[in-house]
Chains A and B, each alone.
Chain A
Amino acid sequence: MTVRFLHTSDLHIGKRFGNLPEDLRGRLREARHTVIDRLAAQARAHNTDIVLLAGDTFDTETPSPQVLRQALAAIGGHGDLRWVILPGNHDSLAAEELWEQIRRSKPENLLLALDAEPLWLTPQAVVLPAACTARRPGRDLTAWMENYDTGAAVRIGLAHGAIQNFSEDGIGTDVIAPNRASLADLDYLALGDWHGLKEINAKTWYSGTPEPDRFKHNRPGQALIVSIPGRGAAPEVTTVDTGVFEWRTLALELFSGDDPAERLDTRLPPGSLRRQVLLRVAASGRTTLPGRTALTLAVAAVEPEFAHVALDEDQLTTDCDTTDLELIDHAGALREAAETLLAETQNPTLDAPSRTVARDALVRLFTYCEAIQA
């Protein structure tokens, strides 16, 4: 009898995205709410009625009543599915009020994996949860699974936290044993916390978030459909798309001779997707003064088409030679000013911020001159 379920985590419902523009914020929050519907749809599409949420379903320990109740209502709305929810580090058991409220108003099809005891999905399948007791429990909460005999049932571990350095918050102290699946004789260990999909071993997976919330992982939102043919059998894991927004980092490596605008244009996602893409252009390498201006202009030109665009030029070096300075002036005081600034950008005795200031001043000078000529 094959056990099949959908493995996901880190919904972070209620996240506000305060650092983004107001209108985008609303859309991103909305996408986090509707991810429940998309997960449900994917579960149905892949013929399973079980959804395992491996922690961080809510972004904070005190979501607003609307956020909480709407999420519960959405889960309840998909009554044909059974949802197993595990406290993560963002919504750990320390958030008593949260779990109390969930307990009070949860729909029947929502199972709470709060305690370190088996949760039987079917007589043939049991979930061994390791709920986060606090934001930083300080110990491996999955340890208890090892000594717990569940007979012939398929054993599914459910946990939230870091393995090695896969910690989303960069806190690597509470490490889950990477070989927990084999130590505890699990058929599958469903992990949450890392927002990118990651296979640790054949039986241990991070599902990643179904709706990305940052540029870090550069992946679309996905969930895992896991099929376990039987006790001891290798699980079959497939990915399904669930994201509405894509957080894409476009690594733009430039060389002095390149036309940055052209290079950018070829790498941009197709226009039909752009509305749902948050784009970060990470320019690196070298470019000329006109190249830099062109890049800025090109990015600014496409910006309105995207949900959001950020240009990161920190790794981009500006090449500037006399030809470029000719564009400013052939001679005279303006040229002298430009030469001074150029010398500063290349002066190794100056600190990096001063060089950056000089570089940007030179770019600015160039921009002014172009504007005057135009």
Chain B
Amino acid sequence: MKLTALRLHNVKRFGGRGIAIENIGKGVNVLCEVNEFGKSTCFDALHALFFSPYSGIPQAVQSLRPYSGGNPLVEADIETEAGRFRLRKQYYGGRRAQVSDLATGRLVAQADEAEHFIGELVRGGQAGPAGLLWVRQGNTGLERRTKAEDDGEKRARETVLTSVQGEVESVTGGRRMRAVAEACEQERAQLVTAQGRPKAGGPYAAALDTRDRLAAQAEALQSEVDALHEALDQRRRVRSRLSELNNPEDHAARQEAVTRAEARAVKARLHAEKLGTARAEAALKRSLKEASSAALTTYAQAVERHAKLTVAAAEQDARRRNARDHLVTSQNVLESAVQAMEEAEAEEAQARALLERLDRALRAKEASEKLAALHQTLTEADALRQSIEAGEAAVRVLSLPAETIDELEAAEAEIARLKAAESIRATHLRMDYVTDDVPRVDGDGLLLAPGQEVPLTGQTRLTLPGLGVLTVRPGIADGEAGTLADLMAAALSARNSCLDRLGVDSLAAARHRQRQAREQSDDVTLLTQRLAVLAPQGLEVLRERIATLEAEGKESFAPETPISDALAQAETEAVVSLDQVREALGAAARKVAEARRSVSELRPRQDLAHQAVIAAETEGAALTAEMEALNTQLGEASERDETVRRLSTQAEIDQGDWQIADARVQALESEALDLEAVEASLSRTRSVIDGVEAEKAGLAQTLAELTGRIGAQSEHAVEENLQETLEKLREADAQVARYTHQVAVLDRLRGALNAARTNAREQYFEPVLGELRPLLGLLFDDANVVFDDETLMPSVLRRNGLEEPIPVLSGGMREQLTILTRLAFARLLAKQGRPAPLILDDALVYSDDDRIEKMFDALHRQARDQQIIVFSCRQRAFSQLGGNRLILRDWRPDD
């Protein structure tokens, strides 16, 4: 949207006249006039045209009216994408709103529709800024602001960021929003805490407390009321019961019942006594009757019995005699059987004894024979043993060590070999005698036998009988001869040593001894074998057996029957033969058995007979006793019939008496009253009266108590109190509900406000900041502002190569920032396809000329695609601004 013209009539100081600004163009438009020329009037009129409905007269409209009164008229021509239109509003008298198409002059809308049309022009969309951007002298928004607010703002110099934030909020309606939010918070804070709980001490909490207190009170009162009602109910029941009990008819009826019962009881008791007497009498008669009847019966029975017994006694006597006879007989038989048995037993014993003796004698004989044999064997064995020992001793003497003999043999062989050798080499002498009767040459013992060569082994002196002594000395031939002699000497020495050791004088003797020893040894072996046959387990065993046998023999034969006697007897009796004896014993045993069986058979019979006798005797005794008793009972036999007659008469009399008495009892019983029932009835009727009286007493007490309680409670007017408390409680509940609702309403409002604020901030703050960033350098001379990329916060200011912290803003910077923010917004809106005019009314009062020029540059740079309308009184400074200069002209409306 662009403004092309503004006209107003009868507005403020232009009472009764009008002015017009025509030809407002694109880009920067400047209306630069002295103060009080009407710039602010134009501004206010324009604002009213767009934002104050024609129908109302809010303060903004009231301020338009001149002091002289009249009806302010404002008219503006605009250009939008849809075309060019003229907006006109008149306030107070003839109030109206019109929109007409400038091209056709046609009326497009009027009244509310016109307002709607205008509303759409400036509607910035949800949470957006209005379609016109304003900066007014000295402050930044269009909202009315208190002086304190302005002062506060001057004092608190804000940072760029908070300023921009404030400006964004301002453009998007934030200042009022803040006030509203604060009011909402304040009101909410009176009721609840930040967490939404009822605030202690606040009216909401107080209402809740009151409600709870009343609820408790109502409950307590309710229980009191319930108790009262309960007491009333109870008392009603008690009273009704009491009146029932006190009914005089009932009382009389109860008394009457007692009287009747008493009369009945007296009568019944009397009758009962009579009946008792009659019963006693009848009982007496009855026992009399029974006694006499019993006596009769008893007597009759005794008579009868007596007769029977008399017969029985005779029979019994015969039986007894029989039994006795039988007993005697059987006793005799038994005795003879027993005797036979005893005899047989004796016989058997004898046979057994004989057999035993015989047996023992035989065994003794055998034993004795065996013992003799053993003694013989032992003697022989002893002899053998001695022979063996002697043999062994001889062997030991004769035996020569075999190796020595071998050695001797070797030595003899060597000697023989050596002799042979010597004889071969030696000088042999042989003398052949002329006759056999000539003396024999002898030399050194050497006798020269005729024709026998004898070797000379050394110097040999030969005695030639009769001739002298011839000495022959063989010459020493060579060394061998010496050696031979040595060997011979050694061999001889060895042979002699052996002989010495063997204790024999020759080898032949040695061999002889050897043979003798062997022969002796063979003998010993033979003897040993024989001994082994005799006593295979050795002599000791043999001796032990002998000792055992001897000992047994001593035991077997007692001293009184010396073995010899026994043997003698055995030998004499043995003639009878053992077998015969055994046979006799068998026969005897059979006889004994026979006899015993016989006795066994007879003994029970004898016992039976005995018992029969005892039974017969007992029976007899019993019969006798009974008879005696009966006799005593019955008396003399002659009087018995008389007695029977007497007894039966008495019984008849007694029977009659009893029947009479019994008839009386029956008669009385038939008309008897049930005494127990009568008594029970009496006690019941009496207890009814007692119970009634007791109940009456109890009820009276209960009644008194209840009455006291009810009286006390009634006086406290509990029901009224309860009613009142319940009503109060209802009111308190309503109050709580109202507060709860209020809190919900405030919460909801707060939520809506916060959501809208957040939304606005998100939607505009950052985009505006983005647009603003390139413009911000203007604020800080040649400085570069470095923004934090993430937060978009200006972080450092770089000036002349030096980094400075962001300073707080001066008043001049603040207003420049205001303009720049609007420019940024304008750029944003233009980008969104909704270009909006920016109107500045003496917006730069704190800025110096130098800075103003810089702002002008910015405005111009911006104004390429942006309509900017500047109202200013600073003619000199703003002469530099350039742009389209606007002129105020007088104007009258058409009609």
**Closest CB of chain B to A21's CB: distance in Å?**
10
- A187-195, A296-304, A358-366: which one contacts chain B? A358-366
Interface membership of chain B positions 743-773, coded 1 if the CB is closer than 8 angstroms to chain A and 0 otherwise: 0111011001101110110000000000000
Q: Complex: how many Å from CA A261 to CA B874?
A: 51
Check B180–A372 contact: CB distance below 8 A: yes
Q: Complex: how many Å from CA A17 to CA B728?
A: 8
Q: Which of A19, A97, A326 contacts B711 (CB 8 A)?
A: A97
Check B760–A336 contact: CB distance below 8 A: yes
Check A96–B717 contact: CB distance below 8 A: no
Residues of A near B723 (CB, < 8 A) are 15-16, 18, 59-60
Residue in B115, B232, B717 with the greatest tally of chain A CB atoms within 10 Å:
B717
Task: Tell me whether A62 is interfacial, beta carbon within 8 Å.
Answer: yes
Residues of B near A349 (CB, < 8 A) are none
Q: Complex: how many Å from CA A94 to CA B236?
A: 9
**Closest CB of chain B to A370's CB: distance in Å?**
10
Interface membership of chain B positions 735-746, coded 1 if the CB is closer than 8 angstroms to chain A and 0 otherwise: 000000100111
Check B125–A331 contact: CB distance below 8 A: yes
Q: Which of B717, B730, B731 contacts A67 (CB 8 A)?
A: B717
Q: Which of B53, B126, B174, B757 contacts A326 (CB 8 A)?
A: B53
Check B173–A332 contact: CB distance below 8 A: yes
Check B711–A323 contact: CB distance below 8 A: no
Q: Complex: how many Å from CA A97 to CA B237?
A: 14
Check B174–A332 contact: CB distance below 8 A: yes
Check A339–B720 contact: CB distance below 8 A: no
- B127-135, B421-429, B577-585: which one contacts chain A? B127-135
**Closest CB of chain B to A223's CB: distance in Å?**
24
**Closest CB of chain B to A168's CB: distance in Å?**
15
Residues of B near A356 (CB, < 8 A) are 741
Check A364–B746 contact: CB distance below 8 A: yes
Check B127–A336 contact: CB distance below 8 A: yes
Interface membership of chain B positions 518-540, coded 1 if the CB is closer than 8 angstroms to chain A and 0 otherwise: 00000000000000000000000
Q: A339-B126, A341-B749, A364-B746 are in contact. Are A334 and B173 (CB under 8 A)?
A: yes
Check B235–A323 contact: CB distance below 8 A: no
**Closest CB of chain A to B762's CB: distance in Å?**
11
Check A64–B172 contact: CB distance below 8 A: no
Residues of B near A212 (CB, < 8 A) are none
Within 8 A of A (CB), among B686-707: none
Q: Which of B715, B719, B749 contacts A60 (CB 8 A)?
A: B719
Q: Complex: how many Å from CA A322 to CA B120?
A: 11
Residues of B near A103 (CB, < 8 A) are none
Check A331–B232 contact: CB distance below 8 A: no
Task: Tell me whether B448 is interfacial, beta carbon within 8 Å.
Answer: no
**Closest CB of chain B to A320's CB: distance in Å?**
14
> Considering only CB atoms, which chain A residue lies closest to B710 in the complex?
A97
Residues of A near B710 (CB, < 8 A) are 96-97
> Considering only CB atoms, which chain A residue lies closest to B761 in the complex?
A333
Task: Tell me whether A106 is interfacial, beta carbon within 8 Å.
Answer: no
Q: Complex: how many Å from CA A15 to CA B721?
A: 10
Chain B contact residue count (CB 8 A cutoff):
65
Q: Which of A326, A331, A337, A340 contacts B128 (CB 8 A)?
A: A331
Q: Complex: how many Å from CA A19 to CA B116?
A: 49
Task: Tell me whether A221 is interfacial, beta carbon within 8 Å.
Answer: no
**Closest CB of chain B to A57's CB: distance in Å?**
14
Chain A contact residue count (CB 8 A cutoff):
49
> Considering only CB atoms, which chain A residue lies closest to B760 in the complex?
A333
> Considering only CB atoms, which chain B residue lies closest to A25 in the complex?
B724
Within 8 A of A (CB), among B88-124: 112, 115-116, 119, 122-124
> Considering only CB atoms, which chain A residue lies closest to B127 in the complex?
A336
Check B752–A340 contact: CB distance below 8 A: yes
Within 8 A of B (CB), among A48-95: 59-65, 67, 94-95
Residues of B near A361 (CB, < 8 A) are 745-746, 748-749, 752
Within 8 A of B (CB), among A317-332: 322-323, 326, 329-332
Q: Which of B171, B183, B748 contacts A357 (CB 8 A)?
A: B748
**Closest CB of chain A to B222's CB: distance in Å?**
13
Task: Tell me whether B184 is interfacial, beta carbon within 8 Å.
Answer: yes
Check A62–B228 contact: CB distance below 8 A: yes
Residues of A near B724 (CB, < 8 A) are 16-18
Interface membership of chain B positions 809-845, coded 1 if the CB is closer than 8 angstroms to chain A and 0 otherwise: 0000000000000000000000000000000000000
Residues of A near B720 (CB, < 8 A) are 14, 16, 59-60, 62-64, 67
Check A322–B173 contact: CB distance below 8 A: no
Q: Complex: how many Å from CA A59 to CA B726?
A: 14
**Closest CB of chain B to A87's CB: distance in Å?**
14
Task: Tell me whether A368 is interfacial, beta carbon within 8 Å.
Answer: yes
Task: Tell me whether B179 is interfacial, beta carbon within 8 Å.
Answer: yes
> Considering only CB atoms, which chain B residue lies closest to A101 in the complex?
B714
Residues of A near B180 (CB, < 8 A) are 334, 365, 368-369, 372
Check A64–B130 contact: CB distance below 8 A: no
**Closest CB of chain B to A299's CB: distance in Å?**
15
Check B714–A337 contact: CB distance below 8 A: no
7 more A-B contacts (CB under 8 A) besides A95-B232, A364-B184, A365-B752? A62-B717, A333-B177, A334-B173, A334-B180, A337-B752, A341-B752, A365-B180
* Interchain Cβ contacts under 8 Å between A and B, 24 examples: A14-B720, A18-B729, A19-B727, A62-B228, A62-B717, A65-B715, A67-B720, A94-B232, A94-B236, A96-B710, A97-B710, A322-B116, A331-B127, A331-B128, A331-B173, A333-B172, A333-B753, A340-B752, A341-B752, A358-B748, A361-B745, A365-B749, A371-B183, A372-B180
A residues apposed to B, CB below 8 Å: 14-20, 59-65, 67, 94-98, 101, 322-323, 326, 329-341, 356-358, 360-361, 364-365, 368-369, 371-373
Top 3 nearest A-B pairs by Cβ distance? A332-B173, A18-B727, A64-B717
